Chain A
Amino acid sequence: MLIWRPDHRPTSEGGRARAAARLALGLLLLALALFALALISLATGARAIPLENVWAALVAFDPNATEHRIVWDLRLPRTIVGLMVGAALGLAGAVLQGATRNPLADPSILGIHAGASLAVVLGVALLGMTQLSSYVWLAFAGAGLSMLVVYSVASVGRDGATPVKLALAGAAITAVLYAIINAILLTSPRTLDEVRFWQVGSLSGRTVDIALQVAPFLLIGALLALATARLLDGLSMGDDVARAIGQRVGLSRGLAGLAAVVLAGASTAAAGPIAFVGLTVPHVARAIAGPSYRWILPYSMLLAPILLLGADVIGRVIATPGEVQVGIVTAFLGAPVFMALVRRRKLAAL
């Protein structure tokens, strides 16, 4: 079964165990870093709140204290949504890259972002919806529907939904959907005005209700995604090899796609279409953890919220008294890091 590991990873049992221990320790460190970042996120904002009051708000909440309410009602939901959305985006990107064996795959390539955006734009333009909470279901439905269309288009023909056909169908459907979105936005400035903040991707104004609305989907999606790790490892060797070792290729790809659409759809519903995280984080995870999706998936799940929440914290403080949307900061912050990574090491091919 050496064919399982056609790479440079240690093959002796002892070496493999040491590598696994090292990677597990890495995960633990990332989890600690993420926890620290979450605390920083609770302590950071447009209003200066002393650390002891932030702590008091968490352990001894007093509904009459203004600072406690700000920590509890604004920063905590925002931090939770940031953690959930970040983890979902990282997982969705990794799963999609694995399932389509396309290093450029991310939630935007399969029409998920475009579908969610179109649904929200239509809801604002035709139904007059204006509140974030009403966008959630629209975005979710739009993401699912467009993913379904992409998948059906790609499935036509003898080979079924191959990675290349999925990517092409996704690109084509995305182009069509964005054409419709732009046509609506150009002719309806009111709609543009309503959705422009949503479209950039933002964590501000997210309440507990929004977190609760999407939480079940993110949980199911995350469990499903983590469960596909072994299938993704099989697919990464190519469809023929995967079939030869007894894997049902179509089913694997379908399950992985389902996990990705639930994750990406729910995260887009909560925070708007954030493009960069799902694309880059899995590459960083792969650079650290090697080619096995059993490690890539948990690493992506922890690295992505670090990027997203870190970017959000920075966005809150660099433009006081206003804020910079997290979608903008992630791109500004993430792109140079990603470029440095690409230059320093040869990224693993898929």
Chain B
Amino acid sequence: MFRAVAFTLALFTMTTLPGMAQGWHYVGGDGNAVELDAVPQRIIASQDAAAGLIPLGIRPVGIYADSAVADAKALQGLDLAGIEIIGQAWGEVDIEKAAALEPDLIVAEYWPLESTWSGGDDVVSALAPLAPVTGPEQGASILTLIEDYEALAQSLGADLAAPSIAAEKSAFQAALAEFKAATAAKPDLTALAVWAGADALYVAATAGSSELMDFANWGLDLIDPEVADDRGYWEILSWENADKYQPDLIMVDNRSDATMQTAMAQPTWTLMKAAQAGQVADWPAFWLRNYRVYASELAKLTAAIKAADADLAP
């Protein structure tokens, strides 16, 4: 009898107390739970976390970026007014500015392969004394990552049903349906994701990039290279061997406009029939974090797939 009462009491406290005390609970991508007495208000976010949270209505007080903000593809098009930029290089953060912001929470992305958070160990050890570090885990899908941001934003007080936020989500769902229809209509079309350097052509492994895994799941036939690089993300081809793979559609990393220029400047770029035929599209490499940009990048790819001749390469 006593045990039953105690159990009921415990259950009651567990379910009601957090709500009553306005506490906050979140399990991060590293598997560790963060418990706070109140819902955190002052958030410092990594550039990727900011790109995930801001469109959902959660505005951080500070952002640390991996590069100059102007070059940070993930942050493009976001309203950053009033948000302090406390880092503009990989692995660097201004600890004094960060402390002055008096953060309640640091939101970053967990990198399972490296067992660290966005920005790397140096940034984490600089910020962790100020507030708990948490956030979603990078994984096999950008869509899953965005859904993780939705859950996190909701716990932080975001209203996901707000018309503008809901509209972006439904626009994405429409773009996704279009993409799936386009790939289904051209089952023979093959694609290759690349980064072009002056020294070599880097061919991306599908499993090294969340959005490529999404595209593959949604019906795009991506050619997987033989990865010799020990980091497992790329096959490095001398420009003499640029025609090792013959896709129908080439996707070029669009983090920097220079990549496409570099590719076009190589005499052997057009050894790929798809390059010769202009069947080249953008690969939004590693930077998609919200429905709005995902929808617009998917729409561009869908258009390229629809326009492409799927019988270009054997």
A interface residues (Cβ-Cβ under 8 A, vs B): 45-47, 66, 69-70, 73-75, 130-133, 187-190, 194, 197, 202, 204-205, 207, 321-323
Contact = CB atoms under 8 A, between A and B. Distances in A.
Interface size class of B (residues with CB under 8 A): 20 to 34
Q: Tell which of B89, B238, B261, B268 has the most Cβ of chain A within 10 Å.
A: B238
B87 to A, nearest CB: 12
Q: Which 4 A/B pairs are nearest by Cβ-Cβ distance?
A: A46-B238, A73-B267, A130-B258, A205-B198
B126 interface: no
A73 B261 CA distance: 17
Interface string B258-269: 100110011110
B67 A190 contact: yes
18 contacts: A46-B237, A46-B241, A47-B241, A66-B271, A70-B240, A73-B268, A75-B240, A130-B261, A130-B262, A131-B261, A189-B67, A194-B258, A197-B197, A197-B199, A207-B265, A321-B237, A322-B200, A323-B199
Contact of A132 (B89, B198, B200, B237): B198
A47 B271 CA distance: 13
A204 B228 CA distance: 21
B240 A45 contact: yes
Given A130-B261, A131-B265, A197 B198 contact: yes
Given A322-B200, A323-B199, A205 B266 contact: yes
Contact of A74 (B67, B228, B239, B262): B239
B277 interface: no
B144 to A, nearest CB: 29
Contacts of A187: 89
Contacts of B89: 187-189
Contacts of B197: 197
A69 B267 contact: yes
B68 interface: yes
Contacts of A74: 239-240, 267-268
B111 interface: no
B120 to A, nearest CB: 12
A202 B197 CA distance: 13
Contacts of B268: 69-70, 73-74
A185 B89 CA distance: 11
A67 B228 CA distance: 24
A101 B197 CA distance: 42
B102 interface: no
Given A74-B239, A321-B228, A321-B237, A131 B262 contact: yes
A321 B226 CA distance: 12
Contacts of B266: 205
A46 B240 contact: yes
Given A130-B258, A205-B199, A323-B199, A45 B238 contact: yes
B271 A323 contact: no
A188 B70 CA distance: 12
A204 B88 CA distance: 31
Contacts of A190: 67-68, 71
B267 A322 contact: no
A66 B237 CA distance: 16
A66 B268 CA distance: 9
Nearest to A192: B89
A190 B236 CA distance: 21
Contacts of B239: 74, 204-205
B286 interface: no
B199 to A, nearest CB: 5
B226 to A, nearest CB: 10
